[in-house]
Every structure is written in C-alpha cells, then in structure tokens.
Amino acid sequence: MEMLSKPSAGWTDFRLGKTVYGLSYLTAVPLNWLEQAIHGLETLMPFTVYGFCEPGAVFCLVGYRKCYIIFDREEEEGLSPDDAHFETVDVNMLDFCKSLYTDINQNIDAWSQWSPAFFESPEEYHLLHLEEKKKLQMRLDRLEILINENTSFFSTNSTSI
C-alpha cells in the first residue's frame, strides 16, 4: 500500500482510505512524520501527523488499531459538522509505520529535496541535499528498529489494545 507518493515539485499525495490529499512543502512531511512515528512506537502511544493541502489541512490520528483522518478546509467559520470530512481507516499503528518507512525509504533522494531552497551555488544545494538525506536515514534506521521490536507486540496484543 503506497501511503505517500514520490514527492514532485514540493507536493506528495497522501492516501489512506478513500480520499487522496495533496500535501505541500509547507509541512516538513518526511522529518515530522518520521519523528511522530518514532515517538509513537517508542512510547506505544497514539500520535498525529498532518500536512497542509493549500487550502486546508489534513490530520491523521494514528491509533493502536485504526487511523482517523480529519480534513479542515480552514475557512473563516471553522469546521462545521455539515462540511467536515472525517474518515476511519482500518490501518493499525504498526502498519502505518511500515508504510511510512517504505514510502520514504524507496524515494529517499526525492524526499531529501522536499523543501524548496534557493542557494548561491549548486555546491551549496548539494551539501544541503546530503545533510537532509543523512537526517532522513537516521530516522529511517531508528523507525526500522522500532518496527522490528514491536512486531510481536502488535501481533500478540491486536485484540487487547
């Protein structure tokens, strides 16, 4: 299951359930989402990831057994029950983290160039790209360890969580 598409021109598609959300570079998706997933698996506590859709924002609460997606249009009146988009998806925390790991790991070069930046020289841009890739790889390595450590927990506790 591809949850995050390969980033292109500062955009990625987030798909979990029926709806696809185009997320922009205004959110540091790769770093923020990996950090939240790591914290969630370290503490075994639900966590939230989000992204700006321009207009609007999507929030995904990752629970033990399910994910809950809320889309906020960011209108002046705020979110009303009539125009709220809320979806429950049968994806548990471990499977969410596995998908996140796979989607970023498979396209790490593209994700390391996620945020637009303007530099005086190509060398300066190259150095930033390498630094971002290192940050992502460190988080991916940590997430992979946590996924492996928690696989048995989620398989044996799936009905009691």
Query: Which of the pair, 135 or 154, is modelled with greater confidence?
Result: 135
pLDDT tens for 30-72 read: 999 999 999 999 999 999 999 999 888 999 999 999 999 999 8
Residue 12: its H or E element: strand 11-15
Beta bridge mates, 51: 58
3-state DSSP assignment of residue 95: helix
- The pTM score is 0.88
